[in-house]
Amino acid sequence: MKMKDKIAVVTGAASGMGKAIAILYAEEGAKVVVSDVNLDGAHVTVKEIKANGGTAIAIKTNVAVEEDIQNLIDTTVSTFGTVDILVNNAGIMDNFEPAGDIKDDNWERIFAINTTSVMRATRKVMPIFLEKGNGVIVNIASAGGLFGARAGAAYTASKHAVVGFTKNTAYMYAEKGIRCNAIAPGGVETNIASSMTNINGFGASRQQLGMAINPRMGKPEEIAKVALFLASDDSSFVNGQVVSADAGWSAY
């Protein structure tokens, strides 16, 4: 087992990539904290993990709320004694709005969930990691964090910020036994599209041009395997990197 007795926190783990990551980590021996604003869904993930002989707990977390981040990590420590791995997976899409159509409240909501939560969760676990002299952070960025036409302007900017934050964190703490990497998934079959409520026709028409060269959609389990690599000792020499997992979409 690649993660035997490690304590892993996975945000947005009630469904999609987060759920797949939580389940795979548990299969590899980790004790997993399943975090999501959808507590019922989080409990379903925990139930699946336990049915396979794993260990997990569910914690309701709105990652846009500082107090929820504090509670997530504090409860993890009080339950399992520490945190070894943090996966910042929770995120939402925008509605493909170009710059001229962005509303402030939508911009702020997207950044709160996609970007600020990553900073706050990282900030919260850092004293734990520094005291131990080791720790791993895996951030779920996006192809939208590397290129300009995978989503609207707000999502694109939020994920570019995650990429920059990942690299800075990795470099700052590289000599402290702490690693921080990111995954940039392409199109993956999840329910994230449900976070879009009023799609911008112009923005969507521009974004859709690139979908014609997308080789295929990915499965959450395929992203989970990359997350396992980055969280395990198999990637001990990998730090500050963004791993694209997109079936070659970005190779065009």
Ordered strands of the 31-36 beta sheet = 55-60, 31-36, 7-11, 85-88, 135-140, 178-185, 242-245
Backbone angles phi, psi at 170, to 5 degrees: -60, -45
CA-to-CA separations, 155 to 3, 29, 35, 62, in angstroms, rounded: 32, 34, 22, 18
Q: Which residues are identified as catalytic?
A: 155
Indicate the DSSP class of residue 195.
G
CA distance 139 to 233: 17
